[in-house]
């Protein structure tokens, strides 16, 4: 366990949304800034599927985080002003309890004995963490990608736990196109012989499956527009063998997929990926309220999408904007011209810094 992580032991049994429970569950988390006296300046970051709690560097860890440009002193999420919390998701493999963690009842990894994981479980466990730190209500939740859906899961289950929401490159539910991509990623992992029904080991890792899954995912992270500019046709290589790597985009996929193979646990990946496809904010609609967000007491929300996002296309952000406005929440919808597709929030720094920073300033 990295010593810069703080560990929250979830009290009692943690009951999962679809049934089942774990004992002695742990969430690994990090914080930036100071919680003020009336505990009103807390911002919770909910992460994408493969991200961890290390969103930015801090006094205990000088390594750049996955959202380094966004979080820090004087940055858009200004840690001089805000107390920022980010946890590795329950079910993940970055210090929080997940399918590859030992089951305290057996001492062996849970593997497929880990309960069915949903984004509601990520939301509920993260809320317990925040409460344990003394946060009675969040100033804001910030959720990009899967984190945006986790934020909605938290909002739908705890309707007044946050005053503001920043929802980025996400939506109320995965569209079938995104589910198809994730389904093929899961299939690639499951069909690797080394996956061995979950009984793989470091020395017998489903490398091919993880690599291929990553390549499939990469089809959806950037955009055709960005790739057209990035990969000139003139850069073709001579392949080492017939049908070997020849096109620039093939080298790119190969390079990035190779880097990913051992960065994430295969079963964790399956659980989190399925959780994204299971999430359906619309299922919270009731006979009384067709709008599942009708009872939410959010003061305001910022919803951001990118025209080039294939994974969470802008229709989803438009839909959420309508639902929140209909619920009486003062919401703002911004669709950016970023060419980086779904990953724009990680890459298009100026645009996203300005959006998040300006919005947070307005919430004070």
**Interface with a second copy by CB under 8 A: which residues?**
112, 173, 175-181, 183-184, 186-188, 190-191, 208, 212, 215-216, 218-219, 223-224, 227-228, 230-231, 233, 242-243, 247-250, 253, 270, 274, 277, 280, 282, 310, 313, 315
Residue 83 or residue 269: which is nearer to a second copy going by CB? Answer: 269
Residue 112 or residue 199: which is nearer to a second copy going by CB? Answer: 112
139 is an active site residue: no
Is beta strand 77-78 parallel, antiparallel or unpaired with respect to 330-336? unpaired
Contact between residue 148 and residue 170 where contact means Cβ atoms under 8 Å apart: yes
Residue 133 or residue 180: which is nearer to a second copy going by CB? Answer: 180
Rounded CA-CA distance 304/148 in Å is 10
Dihedral over Cα of 294, 295, 300, 305: its sign: negative
Rounded CA-CA distance 206/189 in Å is 7
Of 309, 327, 343, 348, the catalytic one is: 309
Of 53, 145, 268, 338, the catalytic one is: 145
Residue 248 or residue 357: which is nearer to a second copy going by CB? Answer: 248
Residue partners of 364: CB distance under 8 A and separation at least 6? none
Closest contact distance (angstroms) between CB of 49 and a second copy is 16
Closest contact distance (angstroms) between CB of 224 and a second copy is 4
145 is an active site residue: yes
Rounded CA-CA distance 29/85 in Å is 7
SS3 category, 210: helix
DSSP states along 138-158: EEEEEEETHHHHHHHHHHHHS
Residue partners of 287: CB distance under 8 A and separation at least 6? none
Residue 208 or residue 326: which is nearer to a second copy going by CB? Answer: 208
Closest contact distance (angstroms) between CB of 256 and a second copy is 12
Residue 17 or residue 274: which is nearer to a second copy going by CB? Answer: 274
256 is an active site residue: no
Closest contact distance (angstroms) between CB of 69 and a second copy is 26
Burial 148-177 (b: 16+ CB within 10 A, else e): bbbbbbbbbeeeebbbbbbbbbbbbbbeee
Of 139, 164, 167, 342, the catalytic one is: 342
Closest contact distance (angstroms) between CB of 43 and a second copy is 31
Residue 64 or residue 224: which is nearer to a second copy going by CB? Answer: 224
Closest contact distance (angstroms) between CB of 180 and a second copy is 5
Closest contact distance (angstroms) between CB of 319 and a second copy is 11
Rounded CA-CA distance 221/344 in Å is 9
Query: What is the C-alpha radius of gyration for the chain, rounded to an integer number of angstroms?
Result: 20
Q: Which helix (H) or strand (E) holds 330?
A: strand 330-336
Say what angle helices 266-278 and 146-157 make with each other, to 10 degrees. Answer: 60
Residue partners of 8: CB distance under 8 A and separation at least 6? 26, 27, 28, 29, 87, 128, 129, 132
Helix, strand, coil in percent for the chain, rounding step 5:
35, 20, 45
The residues assigned a catalytic role are 145, 309, 342
């Amino acid at each position: 366990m990295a010593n810069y992580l703080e560990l929250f032991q979830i009290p009692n049994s943690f009951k999962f949304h679809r049934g089942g429970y774990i004992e002695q569950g742990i969430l690994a988390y990090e914080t930036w800034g100071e919680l003020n006296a009336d505990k009103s300046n807390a911002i919770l970051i909910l992460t994408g599927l493969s991200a961890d709690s290390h969103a930015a560097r801090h006094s205990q860890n000088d390594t750049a985080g996955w959202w380094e440009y966004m979080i820090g002193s004087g940055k858009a999420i200004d840690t001089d002003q805000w107390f920022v919390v980010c946890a590795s998701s329950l079910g993940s493999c970055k210090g929080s309890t997940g399918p590859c963690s030992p089951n305290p009842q057996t001492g062996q990894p849970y593997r497929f004995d880990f309960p069915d994981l949903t984004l509601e479980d990520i939301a509920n466990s993260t809320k317990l963490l925040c409460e344990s730190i003394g946060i009675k209500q969040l100033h804001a939740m910030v959720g990009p990608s899967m984190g945006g859906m986790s934020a909605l899961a938290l909002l739908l289950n705890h309707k007044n736990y946050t005053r503001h929401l920043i929802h980025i490159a996400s939506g109320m539910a995965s569209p079938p196109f995104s589910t198809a991509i994730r389904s093929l990623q899961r299939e690639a992992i499951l069909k690797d012989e080394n996956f061995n029904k979950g009984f793989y080991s470091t020395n017998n890792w489903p490398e091919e499956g993880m690599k291929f899954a990553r390549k499939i995912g990469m089809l959806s992270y950037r955009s055709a527009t960005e790739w057209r500019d990035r990969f000139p046709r003139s850069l073709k290589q001579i392949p080492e063998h017939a049908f070997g790597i020849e096109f620039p985009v093939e080298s790119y996929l190969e390079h990035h997929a190779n880097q990913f193979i051992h960065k994430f646990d295969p079963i964790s990946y399956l659980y989190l990926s399925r959780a994204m496809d299971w999430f359906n904010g619309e299922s919270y609609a009731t006979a009384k309220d067709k709008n599942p967000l009708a009872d939410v007491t959010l003061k305001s929300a910022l919803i951001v999408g990118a025209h080039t996002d294939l994974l969470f296309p802008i229709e989803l952000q438009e839909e959420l904007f309508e639902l929140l406005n209909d619920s009486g929440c003062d919401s703002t919808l911004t669709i950016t011209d970023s060419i980086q597709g779904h990953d724009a929030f990680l890459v298009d720094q100026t645009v996203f810094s300005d959006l998040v920073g300006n919005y947070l300033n307005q919430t004070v």
